[in-house]
Chain A
């Protein structure tokens, strides 16, 4: 009797694990996430908490960025502008119309997604590099516009944005961002695991072959681009109501480069690599802050070296280690 009862539980457990795995949440990832979720409860230092929020923010951005660059192999070089657009949309709604930031989350994502869709259908039928450069131009134009429309955005003076909560303590913000980041990851992973994701990969790896098997590259690329931009906008809204002041500088290309470097160091096409890289790189660089420019030079060199010598990034490194462990385990078997 007891045995009969246990079997369904085991079946349920394996079923559940498989479901989680398909969402990209392996036991290891779940453990790490759990640590990440609990850690802020134990940390009292506001500064470290702030660093954690910033790392998580950049990590989430790197995931949304990697969704395009790692799968359809197009760089969204105006990424920061989409983040900024999301932020400004929500901020203006809050300031001018008194909308709640929670509604702003949706509005910001929709606005960035719509602009992403428009840029996408105009540029993604061209070769990847064109889309990258055009996205860059769109970003520059958006930044210039934001700076020029002083009546609406207060331009360079900066727009004061109401915060999400009445407090400036960092811990609650972490718990606002964490579900957003996990949600972003799970959503993007669900897409990449579906047949749409297969099409993305096919386009990224071999366009000719993808086309020959009946995949319409432009259509899938636009889907991918729009989604990535929408998530960028969503994260931008968080940023706006977290920092409390917005200047056109958020759209600057240098922020795109930061996200780009993270997702490359993390490993292209892995999604989670960028998050890991953010939690490693950002605290280290914060620690190195007294070095000033040298720090940024190291950052650039790191990007260059990763590109030349280790294109797989951190994710590639982990895979290598995983393979090595796997081989170690297999070794004893032939001996038996």
Chain B
């Protein structure tokens, strides 16, 4: 179940403290991703026709609305759906806009239908990409389309880090990129390649998108910092295996999808509070605070059908 869509009843919880609901980092996500998409389409001339962009975003929003109605969820979380749609526009490529529709529907559907202990298991964009690539020859991801301009990588890293900081889960991104950089540099040193090679690999725009807008998803990563660092490091190792063991592209995407099912296990071993989009990103969190999301979760109970948010 998803705390974002829970509206604690004032009669049970007392008045909801406004400061806790001030920030929703998804606004920043939308701004960053929207800007990057515009840049990609108009400056880098992505091979994504307008109809596919419209079909992807439109389907994501429509699917979110349908599932919201179907599960009687009080809040229509359009921001999460829009972010998932943006993510797919960046990464998903197909010849046919109908495949884009299917991909967006899988992304949003996975949030509602594949759940474990009240959390959706896979990042919506990630699972949709993997399912589509496995099911259709005509679907692919173009990891090289961003080029590797250091300026671009820097700009995206900055934009992305701002977002992750606001959602208080920058640790996942930092742990992943650090571990992955260590693997790339370590391998190059081992095989005797110049360091320009790992640097070039790290400048990849698609890797930046993955780091700051996909693996950073607070809804599908472990609830504790130690768990997130462990998870991110495992994904980095998986990505390294795909690239240098299997010699296939899109290592991070495959690794994240393959390892997402161990998140509940990590949460079981390292228990911690679940993430909410609208709670304060800083400040103390302690169990029993009636105004804290912890409390909201206590009311995230059977019968409320609270489902919904997620992100790219």
Q: Do A and B come from one complex?
A: no
